[in-house]
Amino acid sequence: MINFILSDADSTQNLGLKLGELLPAGSVILLTGELGAGKTTFVQGLGLGLGIKDAIVSPTFTLVSEYLEGRLPLYHLDLYRLETTEVNQLYLESYWEGIDVPLGITAIEWAQRLPDKPHQYIDIHLSYLPEKGRQATLKLVGNLLINLELLL
């Protein structure tokens, strides 16, 4: 587990950017944190790190956005408007298993609504700091070989 103090939105983006540069195909990032905690901001940085030039906006209504122009495809999901039972029927595993789509990076906002989690994933929880800024807590779940020191 590793904690990051993110004093402004750029710092949140930067954390995403570094991960976007180094993560391998098939990586899943599960994002949690209350409204406005910075989940989309993080994914915007992730897109920059992958070399995606398209603007990344929150797929709150579309559920998923696919960006195919970067080093790897980015699948950006937002489960905010869904119930866990609905999420179950969507077969979202196809994104991180690369079934029917090229294997890429999957980033999921409101991931607590995901009933069946992947075997391995990066858990990122964003929370508000009392004065200003945010804190990110990053955990590697499963058998992931990522050198977290590269993020410091």
| Residue 41 touches Mg ion, criterion: CB under 5 A | no
Spatial CA neighbour of 34 closest among 126, 111, 115, 108: 126
Contact 111, 43 (CB under 8 A): no
Q: Is 138 helix (H, G, I), strand (E, B) or coil?
A: strand
State in angstroms the smallest separation of the CB of 97 from ligand ATP: 25
**Spatial distance between the Cα atoms of 17 and 117, rounded to a whole number of angstroms:** 24
DSSP label of 135:
E
- Which residue, 94 or 112, is less far from ligand ATP as judged by CB? 112
Residue 36: contacted member of Mg ion, ligand ATP, none (CB under 5 to 8 Å, by partner type): ligand ATP
| Residue 52 touches ligand ATP, criterion: CB under 6 A | no
Q: Which residues bind ligand ATP (CB under 6 A)?
A: 6, 8-9, 11-12, 33, 35-41, 58, 109, 133-134
